[in-house]
């Protein structure tokens, strides 16, 4: 099948041929006839399959047919209302769709306008007053201009919701519903999404009327023309590995993906310092900066463009050969969208991914989604190592108390000196749970389990881990049980004796004299009563400060003052009936 078989009008056929299109893609071959029959459409297709042309080309033809039926006494375009609305989630995707309408409709006479936030609205308002046929917009700026009464949607005949699943991910669902509420009931609606979760199907049910469904190459599949590979590497070595790949492989341009905006800036700055021309593009950049970076990348002035996932569906660059996942995405579908930036329209492409120990779960989800194992590159100078710590050992190091347990440091006899937990810090230098604080208790528990930081390091497997299977096998190896260290009773007794307060010999003798003697047998009740009345309360034992050890005079004086204050506080807080403090 060719585009000539789709019964397109001559201006469209001419424009398509100039773009180099000869054979329509599967989504184009199925969707264009349905749209030309003026039926609603529910389309599910992954990025890079040509769905922009699938709705742009037939919409231009229908608009030309409607414009041909207008009265000849309405020459001014300003009196012709907006007839088509395309709603899209990101600025880059809006610009890309606008470029497609400009390319396909260059001989039709149809005027289009792209509006989005982040730039002044005056040029957009001025273009609206001149009159347009097709409006491509992001939800935020569209609602803003509608509230200012610069845009009226009452005459919309064609409505397209593109990248619907991305709309939901970015939190635009309420804005989309507000826009739909202002559209006329009688219209032709087209709904495109890369995935079809229940939320998307429910939203489609509120927009479409008896739609035809077209599903081509769902998101769970990747293009066969894309060569994928994975590098296992420690997180700290990723930037070094990226430089190694860029210097040793013939990569003219590459799109590098990170999960965060800050990470994109760091990678771009590191590449620039290393002599590689690189720029970052993400949501915190101004629209002018984003457009400048994208233009420099398209014109090959910039070799590397570092982007976040906001650009995964909004960048359409011809002959992009390489996509590098500097960080694996936590959503497996995003991986398909990322690597879909290369290998477009049947071209070949290469997708490289870096995976550290914490991203193994992401890799498993990706391989489960795409139904294949990503080949592992083992020959590189930064293999993964020192990252496989067995979970049972980590649990024993926590002292069996879960997340709230602290890390214990052992001394020679197995007692914890210091313990730090999530709930606070405690000093366990007194080797006693009653005086060590929460951190000291948790640290002591870890110490009794026999696992100090040094013993935990002994179970770390040294050497390079070059494949996911090897890493999993390494983690499944059993570990030796911890040796229980019992504290020495002599040491406990010694510590207990050290904590006993000092008592003067004279005090002890007076106390013994005042202690009543127990007599056996019967006693006269009157004597017992009088004896209890005459019995005097023994004197309280006063806590004594222990002089500090010899050393620096200033330190000795400071320690002596601290001990005196401590003793004074104990005296004030001591109750009258206590015999021991």
Average pLDDT over residues 154-158: 94
Name residue, tokens 């007794």: 493
* Confidence (pLDDT) at 522: 47
* Confidence (pLDDT) at 470: 55
Confidence of residue 171 (pLDDT cuts 50, 70, 90): confident
Q: Does 439 lie in the same domain as 360? A: no
Of 282, 334, 278, the closest CA to residue 305 belongs to 278
Q: Does 288 lie in the same domain as 167? A: no
295 domain residue, yes or no: yes
* Confidence (pLDDT) at 399: 41
Residues 6+ away with beta carbon under 8 Å from 385: 234, 462, 463, 464, 465
**Bigger pLDDT: 434 vs 145:** 145
> Taking all residues of the chain, what is their mean pLDDT, rounded to a whole number?
74
* CA distance linking residue 23 with residue 26, whole number of Å: 9
Confidence of residue 389 (pLDDT cuts 50, 70, 90): very low
579 domain residue, yes or no: no
* Confidence (pLDDT) at 448: 42
Of 194, 197, 210, 117, the closest CA to residue 161 belongs to 194
* Interior/surface letters 63-76, b for 16+ CB within 10 angstroms, e for the rest: bbeeeeeeeeeeee
* Confidence (pLDDT) at 341: 80
* CA distance linking residue 62 with residue 50, whole number of Å: 19
255: phi then psi, degrees, rounded to nearest 5 = -105, 120
Average pLDDT over residues 359-379: 92
Q: Is the pLDDT of residue 126 over 70?
A: yes
* Confidence (pLDDT) at 433: 40
Q: Are strands 226-232 and 349-355 parallel, antiparallel or unpaired?
A: parallel
* Confidence (pLDDT) at 348: 79
Q: Does 105 lie in the same domain as 175? A: yes
Name residue, tokens 């559209």: 183
Q: Does 91 lie in the same domain as 32? A: yes
**pTM here?**
0.56
Of 395, 400, 415, the closest CA to residue 486 belongs to 415
165 domain residue, yes or no: yes
Q: Does 236 lie in the same domain as 266? A: yes
Q: What is the side-by-side order of every strand in the sheet holding 424-427?
A: 407-410, 416-421, 424-427
Residues 6+ away with beta carbon under 8 Å from 296: 279, 302
- Quick: pLDDT tens for 395-405: 333 444 443 43
Number of domains in the chain: 3
* Confidence (pLDDT) at 84: 96
* CA distance linking residue 79 with residue 81, whole number of Å: 6
- Quick: pLDDT tens for 303-319: 999 998 865 555 667 67
* Confidence (pLDDT) at 331: 84
Contact 382, 347 (CB under 8 A): no
* Max mean pLDDT range (342-346, 357-361, 548-552): 357-361
* Confidence (pLDDT) at 245: 95
Q: Which helix (H) or strand (E) holds 100?
A: helix 91-104
* CA distance linking residue 30 with residue 308, whole number of Å: 32
142 domain residue, yes or no: yes
| Residue numbers of the domain that contains 455 | 391-475
Q: Does 414 lie in the same domain as 309? A: no
Q: Does 143 lie in the same domain as 43? A: yes
Q: Point out the domain boundary residue: 440, 455, 475.
A: 475
* Confidence (pLDDT) at 385: 79
* Confidence (pLDDT) at 56: 95
Question: Percentage of the chain with pLDDT > 90?
Answer: 39
550 domain residue, yes or no: no
- Quick: pLDDT tens for 409-426: 333 443 434 434 434 343
* Confidence (pLDDT) at 90: 85
- Kindly state the tokens that stand for 530: 């009088």
* Cα-Cα-Cα-Cα dihedral sign, residues 266, 268, 270, 272: negative
Of 84, 293, 40, the closest CA to residue 189 belongs to 40
**Other beta carbons within 10 Å of 554:** 8
* Confidence (pLDDT) at 577: 43
25 domain residue, yes or no: yes
HEC sequence for 276-312: CCEEEECCCCCHHHHHHHHHHHHCCCCCEEEECHHHC
Confidence of residue 190 (pLDDT cuts 50, 70, 90): very high
Measured at the alpha carbon of residue 557, what is the angle toward residues 552 and 562, in degrees to the nearest 5? 125
* Confidence (pLDDT) at 321: 87
* Confidence (pLDDT) at 566: 66
Q: Does 368 lie in the same domain as 400? A: no
* Confidence (pLDDT) at 542: 53
* Confidence (pLDDT) at 488: 47
Instruction: Please give the DSSP secondary-structure letter assigned to residue 346.
Output: G
The 3-state DSSP class for residue 215 equals strand
* CA distance linking residue 576 with residue 273, whole number of Å: 73
Q: Does 79 lie in the same domain as 47? A: yes
Q: Does 356 lie in the same domain as 409? A: no
Residues 6+ away with beta carbon under 8 Å from 369: 219, 220, 332, 333, 335, 336
Average pLDDT over residues 46-54: 80
Q: Is the pLDDT of residue 450 over 50?
A: no
**Bigger pLDDT: 534 vs 333:** 333
Q: Point out the domain boundary residue: 377, 405, 424.
A: 377
Q: Is the pLDDT of residue 151 over 80?
A: yes
Residue 257's DSSP bridge partners are: 307, 325
Q: CATH number, domain at 292? A: 3.40.50.300
- Quick: pLDDT tens for 23-43: 888 899 999 999 999 999 999
* Confidence (pLDDT) at 218: 60
* Cα-Cα-Cα-Cα dihedral sign, residues 151, 154, 158, 159: positive
Q: Does 189 lie in the same domain as 80? A: yes
206 domain residue, yes or no: yes
* Confidence (pLDDT) at 309: 81
- Quick: pLDDT tens for 226-252: 899 999 999 999 999 999 999 999 999
569 domain residue, yes or no: no
Contact 333, 369 (CB under 8 A): yes
* Max mean pLDDT range (189-193, 448-452, 513-517, 527-531): 189-193
* Confidence (pLDDT) at 400: 41
- Quick: pLDDT tens for 63-87: 999 888 664 444 445 567 899 999 9
How far is the first Cα of the chain from the last one, in angstroms, to the nearest whole number? 98
* Confidence (pLDDT) at 570: 56
**Bigger pLDDT: 46 vs 143:** 143
Question: Percentage of the chain with pLDDT > 70?
Answer: 62
Name residue, tokens 């004086």: 557
Number of H helices, E strands in the chain: 22, 18
Q: Does 397 lie in the same domain as 352? A: no
Q: Point out the domain boundary residue: 316, 346, 377.
A: 377
């Amino acid at each position: 099948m060719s585009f000539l078989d789709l019964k397109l009008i001559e201006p469209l056929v001419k424009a398509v041929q100039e773009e180099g299109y000869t054979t329509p893609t599967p989504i184009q071959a199925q969707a264009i006839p349905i749209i030309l029959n003026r039926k609603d459409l529910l389309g599910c297709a992954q990025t890079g399959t040509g769905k922009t042309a699938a709705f742009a080309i037939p919409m231009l033809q229908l608009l030309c047919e409607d414009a041909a039926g207008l009265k000849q006494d309405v020459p001014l375009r300003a009196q012709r209302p907006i007839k088509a609305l395309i709603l899209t989630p990101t600025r880059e995707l809006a610009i890309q769709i606008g470029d497609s309408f400009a390319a396909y409709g260059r001989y039709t006479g149809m005027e289009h306008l792209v509006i989005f936030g982040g730039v002044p609205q005056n040029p957009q308002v001025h273009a609206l007053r001149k009159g347009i046929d097709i409006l491509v917009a992001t939800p935020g700026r569209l609602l803003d201009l509608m509230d200012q009464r610069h845009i009226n949607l009452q005459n919309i005949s064609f409505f397209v919701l593109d990248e619907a699943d991305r709309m939901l991910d970015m939190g635009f669902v309420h804005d989309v519903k507000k826009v739909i509420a202002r559209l006329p009931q009688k219209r032709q609606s087209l709904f495109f999404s890369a995935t079809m979760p229940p939320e998307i199907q429910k939203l489609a049910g509120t927009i479409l009327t008896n739609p035809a469904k077209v599903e081509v190459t769902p998101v769970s599949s990747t293009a066969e023309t894309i060569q994928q590979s994975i590098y296992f590497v420690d997180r700290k070595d990723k930037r070094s590995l990226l430089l190694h790949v860029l210097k040793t492989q013939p990569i003219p341009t590459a799109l590098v993906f990170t999960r965060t905006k800050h990470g994109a800036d760091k990678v771009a700055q590191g590449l620039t310092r290393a002599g590689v021309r690189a720029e970052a593009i993400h949501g915190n950049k101004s629209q002018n900066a984003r457009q400048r970076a994208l233009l420099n990348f398209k014109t090959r002035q910039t070799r590397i463009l570092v982007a976040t996932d906001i650009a995964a569906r909004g960048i359409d660059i011809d002959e992009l050969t390489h996509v590098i996942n500097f960080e694996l995405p936590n959503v497996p579908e995003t991986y398909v969208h990322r690597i879909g930036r290369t290998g477009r329209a049947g071209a070949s492409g290469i997708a490289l991914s870096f995976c550290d120990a914490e991203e193994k779960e992401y890799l498993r989800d990706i391989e489960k989604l795409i139904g294949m194992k990503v080949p592992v590159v083992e020959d590189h100078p930064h293999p993964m190592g020192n990252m496989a710590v067995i979970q049972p050992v980590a649990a024993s190091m926590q002292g069996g108390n879960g997340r709230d347990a602290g890390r214990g440091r052992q001394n020679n006899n197995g007692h914890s000196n210091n313990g730090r937990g999530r709930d606070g810090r405690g000093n366990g230098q007194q080797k006693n749970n009653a005086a060590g604080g929460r951190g000291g208790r948790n640290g002591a528990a870890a110490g009794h389990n026999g696992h100090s930081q040094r013993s935990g390091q002994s179970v770390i497997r040294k050497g390079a881990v070059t494949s996911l299977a090897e890493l999993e096998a390494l983690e499944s190896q059993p570990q030796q049980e911890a040796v229980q260290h019992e504290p020495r009773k002599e040491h406990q007794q010694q510590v207990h004796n050290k904590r006993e307060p000092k008592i003067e010999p004279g005090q002890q003798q007076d106390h013994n004299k005042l202690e009543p003697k127990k007599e056996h047998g019967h006693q006269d009740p009157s004597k017992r009563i009088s004896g209890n009345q005459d019995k005097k309360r023994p004197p309280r034992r006063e806590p004594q400060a222990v002089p500090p050890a010899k050393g620096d005079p200033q330190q000795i004086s400071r320690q002596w003052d601290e001990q005196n204050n401590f003793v004074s506080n104990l005296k004030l807080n001591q109750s009258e009936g206590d015999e021991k403090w």
